[in-house]
Amino acid sequence: MLELRPSCENCNKPLPPHATDAMICSFECTFCSDCVSLLGNTCPNCGGGFVPRPIRPVTNWKGDNYLGHDPASTTVKFRPVDWEAHQHLLLRLQGIPPEQR
Ligand SMILES: [Zn+2]
Ligand SMILES: [Zn+2]
């Protein structure tokens, strides 16, 4: 199940489950959309692209599949980006869209 992390890994901005500016890579690395722009839509941990994080319903519409049953994570992952290393990664990925990485 998708881990709904509580904040942006780079700037620590709170990203509650209803945040519409939370972005994730395929490994669930979680960043705010501002940081994703700065990162050139490239995850500093895996080199993959980002997509908007889906919103988990707060209401039990069906079969206990909602936040009350499966709450968001409270474990903060705060690992500010090493921008120099990221520039090197961006150079290697230059011009390669996420679906071809
Ligand atoms: Zn951020
Ligand atoms: Zn990643």
Give residue 75 CA to ligand 2 midpoint distance, Å. Answer: 17
pLDDT of residue 79: 96
**Nearest listed ligand to the Cα of residue 12:** 1
- Contacts of the segment 31-34: beta carbons below 8 A, 24+ positions apart: 32/8
Give residue 98 CA to ligand 1 midpoint distance, Å. Answer: 20
Give residue 24 CA to ligand 1 midpoint distance, Å. Answer: 12
The segments of the chain whose pLDDT lies below 70 read none
pLDDT of residue 4: 98
35 Cβ contact list (under 8 Å, min separation 6): 8, 9, 10, 11, 13, 81
Give residue 43 CA to ligand 1 midpoint distance, Å. Answer: 12
Give residue 62 CA to ligand 1 midpoint distance, Å. Answer: 33
pLDDT of residue 93: 95
- The pLDDT tens digits of the residues spanning 32-43 come to 999 999 999 999
Considering the entire predicted model, what is its pTM?
0.94
CA 52, CA 71: separation in Å to the nearest integer?
19
Q: For the sheet containing 51-52, what is the strand order?
A: 30-32, 22-24, 51-52
pLDDT of residue 24: 98
